[in-house]
Structure 1
Amino acid sequence: MYETIQKADKGLAVIERGLVITLTGAIAAIMMLQVVMRYFFSAPIFWAEEISVQMLVFATLFGLSLLVHHNQLVTIDFLPNALRPRARHALAAALGLVMLALFVFMSWLGWEWISRPEVRIELGATTQLPRWYNYAVLPLAVAIMSWHQFAAILRDLRAFAGGAK
Structure 2
Amino acid sequence: MRAVSNGIFKLEKALVIILIPVMLLAMVFDIFFRYFLSSPLIWGQELALYTFVWSSFIGASMSIKTREAVAVTLFVNKVSDRLRNVLITAGLLICAVFSIYILYLSISWITNPTILLQRSVTTQTPMIYMYLCIPVSLFFMTIHFINWFLESLRFTRAGKVME
TM-score (norm 2): 0.93
Indicate the residue corresponding to 2:155 in structure 1. Answer: 159
Please give the residue correspondences for 1:1-150 in structure 2 after superposition, counting only pairs within 5 Å.
5-150=1-146
**In 2, distance between residues paired with 1:115 and 1:94?**
32
Task: For residue 126 of structure 1, report the CA deviation from its aligned partner.
Answer: 1.0
Contact 1:27 1:55 in 2 (8 A): yes
Question: How many correspondences in the alignment?
Answer: 161
Q: Which runs of 5+ in 1 are unaligned?
A: none
Which residue identity lines up with residue 141 of structure 1 in the other structure?
A: S
Q: Deviations over 1:24-71 (max 9, x none)?
A: 111111111111112222222111111211111100000000011111
Tell me the secondary structure at the aligned position of residue 20 of structure 2.
helix
TM-score (norm 1): 0.92
Q: Deviations over 1:58-112 (max 9, x none)?
A: 0000000001111111111022212343432221110011111110111110100
Contact 1:37 1:44 in 2 (8 A): yes
